[in-house]
Structure 1
Amino acid sequence: MDGFRGEFIIEDPDGYAYDYDEEVIMPVADWFYKLLPELSTDFLNRYNPTGAEPIPQNVLMNNTRNVTWNVKPDTTYLMRIINEGGFVAQYLYMDDHDFEVVAVDGIYVEKNVTSMIYITPGQRVDALIHTKNQTDTNYAFMQAMDTEMLDVIPDDLVLNGTNWIVYDQDADLPEQYYVDTFDDYLNDFYLKPLSHTPLYEDPDHIITVTVIMDNLNDGINYAFFDDKTFIAPVVPVLSTVLTSGDMANERKIYGTNTNVYILQPGEIVEIIVNNNDTGKHPFHLHGHTFQLIERGDTIPDEFLPQNYSPNDSYVPPEFPSIRDTFNMHGQSYMRLRFKADNPGVWFFHCHVDWHLLQGLAIVFVEDPFAIQEFQSDLSDSWYDNCATGNVSTEGNAAGNMDFYDLTGENVQVKNLPTGFTAKGYCALVFSCVAGVLGIAAIGIYGMADIPNIEQRVLLDLGGLESDSLLENSEGEDEETGSSDSPVKRQNTSNETSNDIEPKK
């Protein structure tokens, strides 16, 4: 996120599946003025209890702003679009030009023409763009943040970027191009792979997890799969695989907070992700592409999350969309399916870097005995880097050679207490005592005998002469010997209260 990044293009040895004239690599990203160490310290902080993500200041295209893409007329460009950002997804759209999407995340798809692309962090889209014949006009090439991912929108936030498709360098550059809605972007769920790979058969291994954002006892907001937030082990998972021998299939040795799942060779694995968070999450799997067989719609914040139900009637696509990063909607769910045919230690995580920092990750240890057989010869530089970082390279998650002994492992902070703490009990007692004393004081003063209460009330209401009223109210009426109503004792003289010195 601080800019140490670049584009790494792997060419198809059989040649590209579609014809084009020229290739353009077009990275996009969000950009923060502050560096990650400072931002992450403020983010993972008890004074940010809701887990509000830092807001980027603007968006970049080709690692800068105000890009001019000089094009030739009547030319087909292959544009490789890569979202290298750390947080927000972006909408991309052009004035009077279309994208012809032909690949996503390295998977060829049947051509799909669209006027707008939605691309999340970690996703890659290949699109053909055919230029016009005339060269007298330049066009705006727009990018815009998905503001639904932002908790707040500061007044000075630059929400979009205006770039240009330039046919004539001497012609004027147009103003930004406006659209009526962002709802018309290409839905990648319906992209059909060019290979026509059919839906994988029923899964051998179903993993169901629920995304939760919550606070632990240090006041920091963490991200969880179920009740576990990922905490890096003392010994890297790969090192534990390589040094555990026959115990490599034992899930326990990988630690309490690494969220490890053991996959056996050739298994069809289905991941069901229920999102109990209101935010969007682009989930990415290392080492594999997967089929998206079902994805629920966005559920508005005012409703309860909609989790996956196997009892609901649903017919998956015959040829599901395939990629390695799929976006999941807020308070919704999705189902992914892949084949465990690539031995290794693979992350499955949210590609929003803030959420990964919060711990939104699980680890697949796929065919651990094959890993021991084929990946045991790690380079010297790997071990040198671990030594430099004071990272142990053998033992279980805690660095113990007794692999069932997890003493000293890295674990998450304790949960918030479910009841009152000692301080809470003290505060409750003192609050109750103060409340009782307050009520008692009100009762004592409220029931006290206040002399001449009626007269004093009327005096406060106005229109009564204070000297006559108080003088006549000291006892019974002299003529009748009775205590008449205060109205009968009202002073009816023309004297005003300014002419009478009140009694003390």
Structure 2
Amino acid sequence: MLINGKCPGPTIRADWGDTVRVTVTNNLRINGTSLHWHGIRMHENNQNDGANGITECPLPPGASKVYSFRAEQYGSSWYHSHFSSQYANGVVGTIQIDGPASLPYEEDLGVFPLTDWYYGAADEIQHSLIPPPGAAPPADNVLFNGSHVNAAGGGSYYRVKLKPGKRHRLRIINTSVDNAFTVSLNNHSMTVIQTDFIPVNAYTAQSLFLTVGQRYDVTIDASQSVGNYWFNVTFAASGLCGVANIRYPAAIFDYEGASSTALPAFQGTPPPDSLCEDNTNFSPIVTRSPPAPSFTASPDNALDVSIAVQTWEGQQRVYWKVNGEDMNITWDEPTLEYLAKGDMNFPNRYNVFEVPQANQWAFWVVENGLGVPHPLHLHGHDFLILGRSPAVANPFAIPVRRYNDATDRATLNFANPTRRDTTMLPGNGWVVVAFRTDNPGAWLFHCHIAWHVSQGLSVQFLERVQEIPATVRLEEIEPVCEQWTTYYSTSPHKQFDSGLRV
């Protein structure tokens, strides 16, 4: 599946403060679609978030829709289908919003999306995960801006040109379905200037860990000898947050004056094992420091992730659950459609958590009851990462670590902690996050592994619900929902999972 005949699709580029309008036409024969603008806050613009079943009905074949939003943030991100398995089949593209930088640079290398790639059709893979054990296969390849060699000897390495003596900006984006990466450029360091859409004070590292959905804007000084250098992707040794059949996934960075066809002579030294752990040592330039006394751990702000096998329509199925419920929405009855009708009686499996107070800090303690880590992404906000349980090499070898306020509170950071829109929930561990309730709407908070959210690993925060009719243009939802209802009654592609996919 392609966008404008390309995979990845075209880069949407704008300046900070611009209004972006994108017309989406669904030319697929038997699938609906929707596009989500990952990391874009959609302030008082919930109906353009692109999460079918939450903020809209899917766009049926032959129909068009205009998404519109103001670029209130700047930096690098991506857009992708939020319907069925399309994102894993290639319905994805990048976003570049130009604005200030915390470190001067001379050359902008643009967006650099990295993704896992499966040679089989994504919907067939997803169907294979329905029965136990529900474990996904390894990726077949890793693509660098859509390119790479393959195990059979075909394809080509993606190449990036560096100008000797210049400082370059590179916008690294993990657009994967299931895989987290550690990236490194041989003989070069990278200086982080943004984490997701958050400008940070310059932070220099030899390697960077990116889980699914995360972005790093970095600068690279071309200060080495003119030549060719590997840009390597490696995986955590445990295999719990990424594994691929391709050996040594890499791109090539060529200095001007070096051969444009030669392979680098030095393979490089593997970076330290990430242990599937986020780096939380970044210091945002615009500070946010919630008052520590305002945080109280309680059942009201606890999200417990678990896995279960249940029988549905005579078949055993694997589900990921939050607080004992796997999310299962209905495409033709999105959350905002309920609100447009004045109906607050949501089914339990919509996993609705109300956040009623305005301009307060909402704290959430997320606990993981299994050794598999999960990349958690929040729509409509970025969030503070106040703390988490320490990384371990093999989470399955230890008991589940629940948040204990008596012993763990002292480890939390309330003084301008790392802020972003996607973070890793440790295996058999916990993470504490917080966001400011300044954006009325229905916002998904979900695992960004496509297979897991399909199996239910998601909740939605219904934020300041009484204000939604005044701030969200609910009337924009109905026309597409009417088109979808007419189409779906005769569609051969019936909903078989949570109704969500990232």
- 1:261 is aligned to 2:350: no
Whole-Å Cα distance in 1 between the matches of residues 165 and 419 of structure 2? 32
1:195 aligns with 2:267: no
Opposite residue 351 of structure 2, the aligned amino acid is N
Contact 1:149–1:279 at 8 Å: present in 2 too? no
Q: 1:316: which partner in 2?
A: 412
CA displacement, residues 27-63 of structure 1 (integer Å, 9 cap, x when unaligned): 100000012111111111x2xx122113210111111
Q: Which secondary structure does the structure 2 equivalent of 1:143 belong to?
A: strand
Equivalent of 2:387 in 284, 294, 319? 294
Matched, 1:122 2:213: yes
Alignment of 1:9-20 (within 5 A): 9-12=96-99, 15-20=100-105
Residue 52 (structure 1) aligned with residue 147 (structure 2): no
Give 1:17-56 correspondences, 5 Å limit.
17-24=102-109, 25-44=111-130, 46=131, 49-56=132-139
Q: 1:185 to 1:272 in 2, by over 3 A?
A: closer
Alignment of 1:258-407 (within 5 A): 258-264=350-356, 265-298=358-391, 300-313=395-408, 314-317=410-413, 318-379=415-476, 382-390=477-485
SS in 2 for 1:312: helix
Counterparts in 2 of 1:113 and 1:186: CA distance versus 1, 3 Å: farther
What pairs with 1:113-192 in structure 2 (closer than 5 Å)? 113-132=204-223, 134-135=225-226, 137-146=227-236, 148-149=238-239, 157-167=245-255, 168-170=257-259, 172-175=262-265, 176-179=267-270, 181-183=272-274, 187-192=278-283
Per the TM alignment, residue 18 of structure 1 is displaced from its structure 2 partner at its CA by: 2.5
1:186 Cα offset (Å): 8.8
Q: In 1, Cα distance between the equivalents of 2:125 and 2:430?
A: 30
Question: In structure 2, do the counterparts of structure 1 residues 391 and 364 end up closer, same or farther at CA, with 3 Å as the change threshold?
Answer: farther
Which one has a bigger Cα radius of gyration? Answer: 1
Distance 1:297 1:411 in 2: 33
Residues 200 and 243 of structure 1: is their aligned pair in 2 closer, same or farther, counting only changes over 3 Å?
farther
- The one-character-per-residue Cα deviations of 1:155-192 (angstroms, maximum 9, x if unpaired) are xx114312211013427321532326324999521211
Distance 1:133 1:23, change over 3 A: same
Q: Give the structure 1 partner of residue 31 of structure 2.
A: none
Amino acid at match of 1:113: T
Q: Deviations over 1:422-468 (max 9, x none)?
A: xxxxxxxxxxxxxxxxxxxxxxxxxxxxxxxxxxxxxxxxxxxxxxx
In structure 1, distance between residues paired with 2:333 and 2:139: 34
Q: Distance in 1 between matches of 2:216 and 2:416?
A: 19
Residue aligned with 1:10, SS? strand
Distance in 2 separating the partners of 1:339 and 1:363: 15
Partners of 1:127 and 1:372 lie apart in 2 by 40
TM-score, normalised via structure 2 length: 0.71
Could you say what secondary structure the match of 1:390 adopts? Answer: helix
1:98 counterpart letter in structure 2: S
Match of residue 207 from structure 1: 301
Query: Cα distance 1:190–1:84, how it changes in 2: closer, same or farther (>3 A)?
Result: same
Instruction: Choose between structure 1 and 2: higher strand proportion.
Output: 2
Task: Give the conservation status (yes or no) of the 8 Å contact 2:207–2:271.
Answer: no
Alignment match of 2:325 (pick from 193, 217, 228): 228
Q: TM-score by structure 1 length?
A: 0.70
**Structure 1 residue identity aligned to 2:95:** F
Structure 2: tracts of 5 or more residues without a match: 1-87, 149-156, 488-495
Match of 1:421 in 2: none
Task: Using the TM superposition, give the Cα deviation of residue 16 of structure 1 relative to its aligned residue in structure 2, in angstroms.
Answer: 2.8
**Paired position in structure 2 for 1:485:** none
Rounded to whole Å, the distance in 2 between the matches of 1:355 and 1:10 is 30
- CA drift of 1:387 comes to 2.1
Post-superposition offset of 1:143: 1.2
Higher relative helix content: 1
Residues 151, 203 of structure 1: CA spacing in aligned structure 2 closer, same or farther, 3 A cutoff?
closer
State how many pairs are aligned: 379
Could you list the runs of 4 or more consecutive aligned residues of structure 1 that deviate by over 6 angstroms after TM superposition?
151-154
- Tell whether the 8 Å contact from 2:235 to 2:242 is kept in structure 1 after alignment: no
- Secondary structure of the 1:240 match is helix
What is the alpha-carbon distance in structure 2 between the residues aligned to residue 143 and residue 388 of structure 1? Answer: 43
Larger relative contact order (C-alpha < 8 A, sep ≥ 6)? 2
Report the counterpart of residue 241 of structure 1 in structure 2. 339
Structure 1 contact 116–185 (Cα < 8 Å) conserved: no
In the aligned structure 2, how far is the partner of 1:350 from the partner of 1:357? 9
Note the C-alpha offset of 1:208. Answer: 0.2
Describe the SS at the equivalent of 1:73: coil
- Note if contact 1:88-1:146 (Cα within 8 Å) is conserved in structure 2: no
What percentage of residue pairs aligned between the two structures are identical? 23
Aligned equivalent of 1:85, options 150, 169, 176: 176
Answer whether contact 1:145 1:159 (CA < 8 A) is retained.
no
Residues of 1 paired with 2:419 and 2:241: CA distance? 31
**After the TM superposition, which residues 461-500 of structure 1 pair with which residues of structure 2 at under 5 Å, given as runs?**
none
Letter in 2 for 1:43: L
Check the 8 A contact 1:87/1:352 in 2, yes or no: yes
Q: Which amino acid aligns with 2:364?
A: I
Partner SS for 1:388: helix
Of 284, 307, 310, the residue aligned with 1:216 is: 310
Q: 2:38 maps to what in 1?
A: none
Matches of 2:224 and 2:497, distance apart in 1: 62
Query: The residue matched to 2:478 in structure 1 has which SS?
Result: helix
Tell me if structure 2 keeps the 8 A contact 1:242–1:376.
Answer: no
Q: Distance in 1 between matches of 2:441 and 2:278?
A: 31
Alignment partners' CA distance in 1, 2:204 and 2:277: 8
Is the 1:29–1:86 Cα contact (8 Å) retained in structure 2? yes
The answer to whether the 8 A contact 2:187-2:224 is kept is: no
